[in-house]
Amino acid sequence: MSVHDQIEDARAQALSRVENAPDLDALVAIEPSLFGKKSTLGGLKRLMGQVDASERAAIGKALNAAQQAVREAFDSVRVTLAAEMRREQLETERMDLTEVPCAPNLGHLHLISQTTQRLEDVFVGMGFTVSEGPEAETDWYNFTALNLPSWHPARSMWDTLYLDLGSGEDVLLRTHTSPVQVRVMEQQRPPIYTVCPGRVFRRDTADASHLPAFHQIEGLVVDEGITFGDLAGTLDEFTAAYFGESIKSRLRPSFFPFTEPSAEFDITCTICEGAGCQTCARTGWIELGGCGVVHPNVLSNVGIDPECYSGFAFGFGIDRLALMRHGISDLRDMFTNDVRFLTQF
């Protein structure tokens, strides 16, 4: 075959490969084999040295023309394939912004809010109302009115965070929900049956069962002839309604300046089922709250006659209630905001 025929053949083959490239990626992949040194036309160029000198100019011209024709075809096909690819992309990746996806990834109430609502439901079902009070409190409501005058050593039971407001250490972040009791009794006369949920603050180091900012629900009953037996019965009812019949609870003698007698309310640790673990400090029990018969001094401080009325009060940790109900082993998990944890509830 003459050199001219070989050039023509190589040109036709190259053009055919260009025109039959199925997409842009395939076209770009064959580029080196069309124009590189190892391409057929490149190989023919290397034969130029062996061609008769009289023919060299004509063959060189034919080779250049063939290469140029292949390059022009290549560039034109590349533009067409790129436009095609862009059109396909626009078609497949098109977003219809006029339509809202049918299952948007909605958030939901935090476990603590859900728990608070459930607790409120349980107590409302038992005839209680729901009351609220401020998180920044005065010394009077958080301590003094609760039978804890400034010199009382039991103030050290609560590691208090004071706010740089008012005079001296008068304004603080409430250390418990008990100040709401005082506010309710100031505004309402007995009979009082109320629960007061809310956030409280202490200088406590965070661990599996402690947080520096946590939640409590306070309960307060003031009426004629209320006794410790009413308290015990109410807590039994509550435990069965909230945890189910299988969970055991107990009352342990304790001390709170605003109740007399006072008790600590514990339930079987649901993590280890009583065997002892890190969450229950190896005791098998978890302390959920304190309770007792309202001290006569507290009633007198708000102008309720302790000779006519008596009452009981309790204050439970909501975070610990949620921990026990859902078998969570570490309170800190609730507030690290890991979506994998939060979406489970």
Return the range that interacts with ligand FA5 (CB under 6 A); candidates 37-45, 112-120, 123-131, 284-292: 284-292
**43, 47, 49, 54: CA torsion to nearest 10:** -130
Gyration radius (Cα) of the chain, Å: 41
129: which strand partners? 194
Residue 344, SS3 per DSSP: coil
Residue 155 near ligand FA5 by CB under 6 A: no
DSSP secondary structure letters along 131-173? ----SEEEHHHHTGGGT--TT-GGGGGS-PEEPS-SSTT-EEE
User: What does the per-residue mask of binding to ligand FA5 show for 286-305, with x meaning CB under 6 A?
Assistant: -xxxxxx-------------
| Residue 194, phi then psi, degrees to nearest 5 | -145, 155
Return the range that interacts with ligand FA5 (CB under 6 A); candidates 104-112, 116-124, 202-210, 238-246: 202-210
Residue 310 near ligand FA5 by CB under 6 A: no
Q: What number of chain residues touch ligand FA5 (CB under 6 A)? A: 24
For ligand FA5, the binding residues in 3-62 under the rule CB under 6 A are none
Residue 178 near ligand FA5 by CB under 6 A: yes
How is residue 36 written in tokens?
């590189």
262: which strand partners? 254, 292
Cα(135)–Cα(38) distance, integer angstroms: 81
> At its nearest, how many Å lie between ligand FA5 and the CB of residue 248?
17
For ligand FA5, the binding residues in 233-262 under the rule CB under 6 A are 256, 259, 262
Q: Give CA angle at 328 (325, 333), nearest 5°.
A: 130
Residue 320 near ligand FA5 by CB under 6 A: yes
> At its nearest, how many Å lie between ligand FA5 and the CB of residue 317?
2
Residue (78 or 210) nearer to ligand FA5, CB = 210
How is residue 201 written in tokens?
């603050």
Residue 100, SS3 per DSSP: coil
Q: Please give the span between the terminal C-alpha atoms of the chain, in angstroms, as a whole number.
A: 81
- Taking alpha carbons only, the member of 227, 341, 236, 249 closest to residue 293 is 227
Residue (54 or 156) nearer to ligand FA5, CB = 156
Residue 184 near ligand FA5 by CB under 6 A: no
Residue 197 near ligand FA5 by CB under 6 A: no
Residue 123 near ligand FA5 by CB under 6 A: no
Taking CB under 6 A as the criterion, the residue among 74, 143, 214, 238 binding ligand FA5 is 214
Residue (41 or 304) nearer to ligand FA5, CB = 304
**Positions that interact with ligand FA5 (CB under 6 A):** 176, 178, 202, 204, 210-211, 214, 216, 218, 256, 259, 262, 287-292, 313-315, 317, 319-320
